[in-house]
Structure 1
């Protein structure tokens, strides 16, 4: 009789394609999980097609993406481990706060309501979308230089450029506007139920050299969970930037995630 394999759902963030999770899927499959990495709503199957048809994902908001992944998870045979990067990390937090999934790992998660630090590096990293209010309804692409600052600053120029060519796609700007306004509107889509005591375990991961989601932002996110008795932990990779899930050191982060899951009986 074949043992049941725990599902694992991977959620990417802005400007990366779902296939960027490929090495993680292989590692998790070898570790005994049943991993999948669905794209965001309307996201084409390949990087090339996503670049050719940017309007397919234009105007998507945080709630749209959350509902999309909630429906995917509802169709699974068992509650999955949810692993998200950047805005995928924020979606992971939202889903777990809604008691969707068995556990969550939020890697360099976009800031949620209640998080106050706003470092200059983060403002610069978000400026390709936020600098023009008309981008709210558009899909926006990064230039190679913008990717270098926001993602690849902790790796070599050569590696950053290679990652840019391999994985970047246009992404909706709306989630960035929603996160930026979260502390100033009544019902923000970037709000997470951080006080939920019944949710599964949550691991937050930060990169010490991350410009897009600086370590101080992830530490402030961690503090938002102080009123919950559910397991919440923080791991920090001091020398890593926002590309930590796709660059040559991805395995270090992935191995740490697998160790944490095992330690929590998952």
Structure 2
């Protein structure tokens, strides 16, 4: 799951800031566990193994992707209706249609199911670089309660772990008209961390 990222990071002159969305948010958390990043931002993150929060919208969104009664060697391609419900519920219809045509591709069920395996395990008591969780207020597939439960599992008192919920953001947060506002929030949070290797400009 991580080798392609750790191999890339190993070629850099300094630890990077890592930012990931959804499954990428889980990758961010796992990279911080390996002390491979200067800081991390997990946007509407898939949770590590063992993080649980009850949500009907999550169950309705995720079960088709997991395809638990099908082979892991097959892929999952969401229908437009599934895309509308689980991912793009906060976008205008025209943007839902265009984003579906541009972005949707078959996903590996094997990769998705790894989020339920020991490879997705995090030691929440371990020291880690600064970590910010961003939750979308109307996110159905990774709802705020799930992101909050993930955030609350982190226990190391001397490590910075922050949580912020953005109202009106669906799972396609990065494609909404508010993306500049959200990017500015992340930039300001990172600047407060006083990271030694990065200079930020407004």
- With structure 1 as the length reference, what TM-score do the two structures score? 0.69
Counterpart in the other structure of 1:253 = 182
The counterpart of 2:94, out of the listed 158, 173, 179, is 158
Quote how far apart the aligned CAs of 1:120 are.
Answer: 1.3
Q: Is residue 66–residue 109 contact of structure 2 (8 Å, CA) maintained in 1?
A: yes
The answer on whether the counterparts of 2:169 and 2:176 sit within 8 Å (CA) in structure 1 is no
Match 2:48 to one of 99, 109, 112: 112
Runs (4+) of structure 1 exceeding 3 A deviation are none
CA contact (8 A) 2:67 2:109 kept: no
Give the match's secondary structure for 2:132.
Answer: strand
Q: Which residue of 2 aligns with 1:57?
A: none
| Corresponding residue number in structure 1 for 2:119 | 189
Q: Is the 8 A contact 1:194 1:228 kept in 2?
A: no
Contact 2:26–2:47 (CA under 8 A) maintained in structure 1:
yes
Aligned to 1:242: 171
Q: Deviations over 1:119-156 (max 9, x none)?
A: 11111111322234324222222221111111111122
Match of residue 87 from structure 1:
23
- 1:105-254 map, 5 Å: 105-179=41-115, 181-182=116-117, 188-197=118-127, 199-254=128-183
CA-atom RMSD, angstroms?
1.6
The unaligned stretches of length 5 or more in structure 2 are: 196-202
Task: Report the Cα distance in structure 2 between the residues aligned to 1:196 and 1:80, rounded to whole angstroms.
Answer: 20
How many residues in Structure 1 have an aligned counterpart in Structure 2?
195
C-alpha distance in structure 1 between counterparts of 2:72 and 2:48, whole Å: 18
CA distance in 1, matches of 2:51, 2:78: 25
Deviation at 1:232, TM superposition (A): 0.5
Unaligned runs of 5+ in 1: 1-63, 183-187
Change in CA separation of 1:137 and 1:116 when aligned onto 2, cut-off 3 Å? same
Higher mean displacement: 121-130 or 211-220: 121-130
Q: 1:265 Cα shift? A: 1.5
Q: Is the 8 A contact 2:83 2:100 kept in 1?
A: yes
CA deviation vs aligned residue, 1:16-48 (integer Å, no higher than 9, x gap): xxxxxxxxxxxxxxxxxxxxxxxxxxxxxxxxx
CA deviation after TM superposition for structure 1 residue 175, in Å: 3.5
Deviations 1:183-236 (A, max 9, x none): xxxxx1111132222x21000110011011010000000111024420000111
Taking structure 2 as the reference length, the TM-score comes to 0.90
